[in-house]
Chains A and B, each alone.
Chain A
């Protein structure tokens, strides 16, 4: 079963912070569905995923609510991975 995070009513960056904190305790390959009302998440969560090696596998916008599905990934450990 997919995990779900209700971030409705929160404003960015809080939905990103809540996503980050949930993903931190999830395993590689697991998926988290995030539902939010601040449309800023359409920008911020994918950006956060790109930096941290996760993947947005689905994103829907029904006008009032936004749903994103994040798949937990991993980054190669140090050194810095350049852009």
Chain B
């Protein structure tokens, strides 16, 4: 019998790493697939924040693949994923995370890849009960069915609690050597990792993407409300990861860099926005998102002064650059801390 091939969804966390490893250990050829949605926590924030640069940075999915000695295919799904975020048939989790639809979508993409490349089945690191909304005993068949993968979707970490799948029935893998993990505990995974000699792995807090982050979700909803439209592009969702966001008036929002790394990052976007920078004192680059009027620009300049080193000076000079590149300077009194209400912070 020729060697069977499986494609493993790799998030970079421990569970999907173990699932792939367990199936490799059964003699199946496994390759990994990792999806880039634009909301992934990895990568960008390291690149942006200077203080994060000191820490060793790695792409966890690549790292997992290297540890396992497995190929990894990274797929850009930014465009197609929008429909999952904007119109999830099964709704959202605690924040704007459409986890169930996301799983269905990713397994379906893996299925397409599998068929194109002549692979036999798909594996995921899902565990029954691990996540209250998306990883439940009753959602497992939903993912299998709605993704179209059906009995070619194997969850090695909890397979023994589920109906046997095709790889098990055909004897491509040994069901008895699979697992029956349930619940939120991480202990069974950690024990299994130790058993298989895996002692270094990423510990994602909560979810694998920014959509599970409360503050991020608030900023994304604010963006939609201000545009009166639910949509986004990659730049929008990147910018929500960076800087302080203040909305003093419905018509505009300010994105204020917090440190040098963010300053450099925002500089890359300055042609798309009216932007300002103090010139009389050191201070942050500030992007103005929306359609600010003249009064708004003045207020924005005063806020820019507030976040500059001239915050206690009588006046600061702020250079304002329009989208067409036209420049002028404004001399304004910086806003007092007390005049920046909490509600302005998005």
Contacts and interface: CB of A to CB of B under 8 A. Distances in A.
Interface of A: 9, 11-14, 16-17, 20, 38-40, 43-44, 47-48, 50-52, 75, 78-83
A50 B71 CA distance: 9
A23 to B, nearest CB: 12
Given A13-B42, A14-B36, A51-B65, A44 B59 contact: yes
Interface in B56-109: 57-59, 61-63, 65-76
B36 A13 contact: yes
Given A11-B47, A13-B42, A20 B70 contact: no
A47 B29 contact: no
B76 A50 contact: no
Contacts of B61: 13
A50 B66 contact: yes
Given A79-B29, A80-B29, A83-B66, A51 B72 contact: yes
Contacts of A9: 268
Nearest to B64: A51
Nearest to B30: A80
Given A40-B46, A78-B5, A17 B74 contact: yes
Contacts of B36: 13-14, 17
B76 A11 contact: no
A42 B234 CA distance: 23
A82 B43 contact: no
15 contacts: A11-B44, A11-B48, A12-B43, A12-B46, A13-B36, A13-B43, A14-B76, A16-B59, A20-B73, A40-B47, A47-B63, A47-B66, A51-B62, A51-B72, A78-B29
A47 B58 contact: yes
Contacts of A12: 42-44, 46-47, 59
A13 B59 contact: yes
A48 B29 contact: no
A9 B264 CA distance: 11
Contacts of B30: 80
Nearest to A37: B268
A43 B5 CA distance: 29
A13 B53 CA distance: 16
A48 B72 contact: yes
Contacts of B74: 13, 16-17, 20, 48
Contacts of A81: 69
B176 interface: no
Interface string B194-217: 000000000000000000000000
Nearest to B40: A13
A13 to B, nearest CB: 6
Contacts of B295: none
A16 B46 CA distance: 15
Contact of B3 (A17, A79, A82): A79
